[in-house]
Chains A and B, each alone.
Chain A
Amino acid sequence: MLNKKLKLNKNILKRGVEKKSIRDGFGEGLVMAGEKDEQVIALTADLRNSTRVRAFSEKFPDRFFELGVAEQAMITVAAGMANYGKIPFTTSYAVFSPGRTFEQIKVTVCLNNVAVKIVGAHAGFGAGLYGATHQSFEDIALMRTVPNMVVVSPADAIEAKKATIAIAKNEKPTYLRLARQESPIMTTDKTPFVIGRAEKMWEDKDPQVAIIATGPILHEALKAAKTLQKTKIESLVINCHTIKPIDELTLIRAAKTTGCLVTVEEHQVNGGLGSAVSEVLSKNFPAPIEFVGMQDSFSESGDSKDLLEKYNITAADIVRAAKRAIRRKNAQG
């Protein structure tokens, strides 16, 4: 059942659940962060509208910088600004930044250890219709390998707003992953958000499997939990919005409670959330894990809903993966 302590959206699993794009939450959060701290500034590489940095640019024109289609310069200029003491939010699509800007991020942001915020929009299937060049399924893997980097992947627009305000204050290089599509609102303004703390969204009394999800696909995980419950399979669903530093304690406890897990992400299973969870558990409490996500392939043009079906990342796929994980656990005896 849904975790009441989190004060989640009452309509979360109803047909008419409210939807909003995660990038809109970022846009609102950035304005709020800018109001709270005048050191907060924003840069874009000719994507003012679609990254939702426009509201900030209109409210704080002197603190907004247009770089043109020059992502490499955007990151390196921001590194200089952060070196000075500013808190720059750099905005582009995830495919371009961190996609193109990996080395700039590694050297000028993370090795310099200056608090640049890398905002990667249109991650996952949100840019579905644009085709494979615009779909980012590698960004989490790239960003979590770099020392000093924090990686945050909010699940809905409200969480994105809170995450934006939180990362403006964390004084660290940080990657914020945003999705484009209108996605279900799962949390409320009262739901707690702490960088590095995963939240149990759904917890049955005697869960047999833990489902760990990141980003808006968390909603499919919750739908899967509801379906599993109907077939008398109890489960636990965790919102792992921070992939680095990952909440080891919550993951280890979940593995100890359930004995098997499913990870769910709009990202390559190689190097993403699934890998991050595996690394924690193989060291601390080895357990069978099933990985729902991109299975080492490129995607293609299509509506995000159709693509999720084609690439087997729906609630039904999560249910099947959960059953496989439980079978593997039971086979181990």
Chain B
Amino acid sequence: MDTKNLRKISKEVRKDIIKMIYKANSGHPLGSLSSVEMFVALYFGIMNHHPKKPRWPLRDRLFVSHGHVCPAQYSVMAEAGYFPKAKLNTYAKLGSSLQGHPERKKLAGIEITSGSLGFGLAQAAGYALASRTDDKRFRVYCMTSDGEHDEGNHWEAILFTAKQKLSNLTLFVDRNRIQIGGPTKEVLSLGSLAEKYEAFGWNAIKIDGHDFEEIFDAVDEAKAHYQGPSVIIAETVAGKGVSFIEGKASWHAKHPNKEERDKALEEIKNG
């Protein structure tokens, strides 16, 4: 896999994220920027899919649980060819298929409506279980944030996924350590997520979530683990790529002004 090209795409995606959030006066920069490499890796290397045939029955499925990072997903989908890049300008506007939080019924290629936290893994598990009973061979990927682990529904789903030994499901956790109210450690400390998942019967893999080699290796390891589900805990930097956004909880759902936009785009360009 040529990671140089993927890094180039990631740069474009980061620029798109800033532009979209600026133009819409709305959006979530921290999580969108921290999850870029995972989305790029999924759409440009990991998933078996056809952008021109978004409903191809044998496609791998991606269930994004923390829908507020959709600027990243939309941008990567546009880069992959699901729709023209010009459509990104309509993000969150009236009549756009790019809703402020993604909706399955509005945009082909979005597998689930999300935005309300804690619901994604359970739906991915239901899907993976149903497809396994029908002996379907595609894989189900799910992505969550670390802050989302405050939700009880998610832990119910962690138990259920392990009980059903859903080895056809791989979960990414964007461990950017920031949520709306501040550092996850202060808001509701999660401790070691890897140890928690292992205690719940999962195969846990820790990686640097901005390193493509590590992402691909982790997915290969997850695929090779037949005994049950795997979680890839991706350590990331919230707001990655823009120095004045990185690690600052105040940027969870803040949109940049014109000056900040220009500064951010410059930094990404030179980064």
**Interface residues, chain A, CB within 8 Å of chain B?**
41, 62-63, 65, 67-68, 70, 72-73, 76-86, 88, 103-104, 107-108, 111-113
Contact = CB atoms under 8 A, between A and B. Distances in A.
A261 B105 CA distance: 40
Given A107-B115, A108-B112, A83 B157 contact: no
A128 B124 CA distance: 37
Contact of A76 (B129, B130, B153): B153
Contacts of B227: none
A81 B129 contact: yes
B129 A73 contact: no
A83 B153 CA distance: 18
Given A77-B122, A80-B122, A113-B105, A70 B111 contact: no
Contacts of A68: 156, 159-160
B113 A80 contact: no
A76 B123 CA distance: 5
Nearest to B124: A80
A84 B159 contact: no
29 contacts: A41-B130, A62-B133, A65-B129, A68-B156, A68-B160, A70-B156, A70-B160, A73-B156, A73-B160, A77-B160, A80-B123, A80-B125, A80-B127, A80-B128, A80-B129, A81-B130, A82-B126, A83-B111, A84-B127, A88-B126, A108-B112, A108-B122, A108-B123, A111-B105, A112-B104, A112-B105, A112-B112, A112-B113, A113-B105
B103 interface: yes
A84 B131 CA distance: 7
A80 B116 contact: no
Given A80-B123, A80-B127, A84-B130, A67 B103 contact: no
B119 interface: yes
Given A63-B133, A76-B119, A80-B125, 20 more contacts: A72-B122, A72-B153, A72-B156, A76-B122, A79-B119, A80-B112, A80-B122, A80-B123, A81-B127, A83-B104, A83-B111, A83-B112, A84-B126, A84-B130, A86-B130, A103-B116, A108-B112, A108-B122, A108-B123, A111-B113
A79 B116 contact: no
Contacts of B126: 76-84, 88
B81 interface: no
Interface string B110-149: 0111111011001111111111010000000000000000
A81 B129 CA distance: 7
A104 B116 CA distance: 9
A282 B116 CA distance: 35
A82 B125 CA distance: 12
Contacts of B157: 73, 76-77
A87 to B, nearest CB: 11
| Residue among A82, A86, A108 with most chain B CB within 10 A | A108
Most chain B Cβ neighbours within 10 Å, of A72, A79, A103, A104: A72
A65 B103 CA distance: 27
A113 B113 CA distance: 10
